[in-house]
Structure 1
């Protein structure tokens, strides 16, 4: 069995162990209310089982990373599949570190889903090992990307603790304007996560069905004010085309729920060869996410935030506030080194400039500025508790847009990490 096959098997094993561990964490948290059970003994027993399972998953994840590295000859962070898989592994590393410090079982119930969703998102992308493009053949690939991912993973743990704090302290039975607004924003945060889940579900569903649509796009080339013959470029969709590529015609399309032709074309101002397909993917993510969210609401007959709130009532909110702050405080200097300082050094070597206003660079800077403001307000302005938790939650949403939204929506120098 080759290193590549071992890495694929280890990826699957890690994913299922994380899912199993999440179930165990749910049992550890919610099962202590069952009859005829000692709550402390139950939580301690299932907490050990949960952490042992997640640790085994992390071990399998490390095996994936090591064997894929051995097969490819470079650290597996060179495309979206590898980077998002590596990020999910770093989330588990950060969770393990924080858990060993604070010993809060409930944290696993919120941190594990983040790693699971990121792994599932990674599986959407092509998994073939490809040779590094010239700009990636540098030692800075190891330094820049790995440190950036590690910093973001601690932000993810800070997000989980911050969200738990909000669920713990917001009064979901209150009817005043401020409480309703707080409840709405917590629900919107959970809805944003569901949108990512919707993207994953829609991609796998249409991929399993073998759906395909093909467009012929005209690409007119102009040289020295003399218009040359147009070239023909084919664009393939694996999802029903709500949006067609700009200036294209249908070559073949499979009808889906009455959708036998695109509803509109991508606007001309959207840059990038795959802008139409990316916009189509975003729309399907929104549609699928809304459908999943509505179904959950109909089944549960209450909001997701109201469902989760009772699970955190037994934990001290000050502990959650401290965990969120410490996780971000650890992640910030790591992210600063990886995503900014070392990234700029690498950009100078690869592209001849330290800064170029590439979309991914801009959003990395926005992320850094946001967490800089968080730490400043926390340390000098006394932002603690609910205010700090809202910043921790919003900051990670910025991180996820940098990782997900920029790659799906905006074209740039980092588009080598795009989907197929």
Structure 2
């Protein structure tokens, strides 16, 4: 067995350990009501078990990272699969640091599932080791990607704590206009998370069924001599095509629930890598996430925020506010170094310029400016608590768009990450 194959096995072990640790965190937080022990003793005992299991998962994840690095001869951050697995590992490192400071099992109930979702998302992409393009063969790339991801990981922990704060302090029985508005936005945040889960369900379900559709897409490209050429590319779909690639013809489409041909065509302005296929995936994610949300609403017969809220009773909201703020304070300088300073050094080495207005560069700058504003407002009177929690949640949405959305909508030098 090669080191790369072994790394895949320990990665699977890490995933299951994360799942078990999440269950133990849930028991630590919600099981104290039915436990015969004193609530704090129950939470302390199961919280310790959950933390040990999550540490074991992180150890397995680190083993995956270093064995894949040794087996491939290159740091595993060069494509979407490798980067998302590293981001998940970085979130667990950030969570471990924050948990060691505050000892709040409740944080694991929200941060660990975020890691699980990202690990599952990474598994959607091809896991084969891909050769590096020349621009990626730089020590500065390694430093840039790892530190940027670690900074984003602390933002993720800040997001988890911020979302917990909202679920803790918002009164889901409040019938006032402002109260209903806050409830709707929290519910929309939870719905968005379920859309991501729906994406995973849809992808793995159709992958298990072996579904595939094929299109031939015509593109107009400009060669190195400035001449325009028509190029035909084959695009493979692994979800039923609701949206086909722009300027393409169907070669083979397996019927699904009467859907034997695409209903729409991707707009021409979406020129990211495989934009049509990705837009089709987004549509299926929304469909699956909406169905999942609807089933949960039917099951509980109340908004999901109102279902989660009772589990947070007794938690000091000021602690959650502090955790969210401190996590972002730690992540901001790390992100500044990785996403801006080291990124510009790498850009100069690879492309001969420090800044080139590439879409990913622009959105990294937007992310940095946003969190700069967050830290500025956080020090102002009236921006602690609820406003700060909302800013932490919105900030991580911007991070996710920088990581994923830019590759879908806009083509640029970082589009290789979407392959």
TM-score of the superposition, structure 1-length normalised? 0.96
CA distance in 1, matches of 2:85, 2:163: 23
RMSD across aligned C-alpha pairs, in angstroms?
Answer: 1.7
Render the CA deviation track for 1:146-186: whole Å, top value 9, x for unaligned. 00010011111111111111111111101001111111111
Which residue matches 1:48?
Answer: 48
Paired residue secondary structure (2:260): coil
CA distance in 2, matches of 1:225, 1:98: 53
Render the CA deviation track for 1:220-261: whole Å, top value 9, x for unaligned. 568999986x54322211111111122222211100111001
Contact preservation (8 Å) 2:87, 2:149: yes
Which residue matches 1:323?
Answer: 323
Task: Sort the Cα spacing of 1:212 and 1:384 in 2 relative to 1 into closer, same or farther, 3 A.
Answer: same
TM-score of the superposition, structure 2-length normalised? 0.96
Contact preservation (8 Å) 1:278, 1:409: no
Task: Sort the Cα spacing of 1:333 and 1:231 in 2 relative to 1 into closer, same or farther, 3 A.
Answer: closer
- Residue correspondence of structure 1 range 229-378 to structure 2 within 5 A: 230-272=230-272, 274-378=274-378
Render the CA deviation track for 1:177-227: whole Å, top value 9, x for unaligned. 111111111111111111111111111111111111111223456899998
CA distance in 2, matches of 1:330, 1:273: 33
CA distance in 2, matches of 1:70, 1:204: 29
Which residue matches 1:141?
Answer: 141
The CA deviation at 1:267 is 2.2
CA distance in 1, matches of 2:6, 2:146: 22
The CA deviation at 1:4 is 0.8
Render the CA deviation track for 1:266-323: whole Å, top value 9, x for unaligned. 2223224622112111111111111111111111211111111111111111111111
CA distance in 1, matches of 2:405, 2:271: 15
The CA deviation at 1:37 is 2.7
- Residue correspondence of structure 1 range 20-419 to structure 2 within 5 A: 20-34=20-34, 36-219=36-219, 230-272=230-272, 274-419=274-419
Contact preservation (8 Å) 1:282, 1:408: no
Structure 1, unaligned runs of 5 or more: none
Contact preservation (8 Å) 2:76, 2:83: yes
CA distance in 2, matches of 1:100, 1:41: 18
CA distance in 2, matches of 1:25, 1:205: 28
Structure 2, unaligned runs of 5 or more: none
Deviates more, 1:380-389 or 1:252-261: 380-389
Contact preservation (8 Å) 2:218, 2:233: yes
CA distance in 1, matches of 2:309, 2:323: 18
The CA deviation at 1:411 is 2.2
Task: Sort the Cα spacing of 1:142 and 1:225 in 2 relative to 1 into closer, same or farther, 3 A.
Answer: closer
CA distance in 1, matches of 2:107, 2:273: 42
CA distance in 2, matches of 1:270, 1:58: 37
Render the CA deviation track for 1:325-346: whole Å, top value 9, x for unaligned. 1000000000000001111111
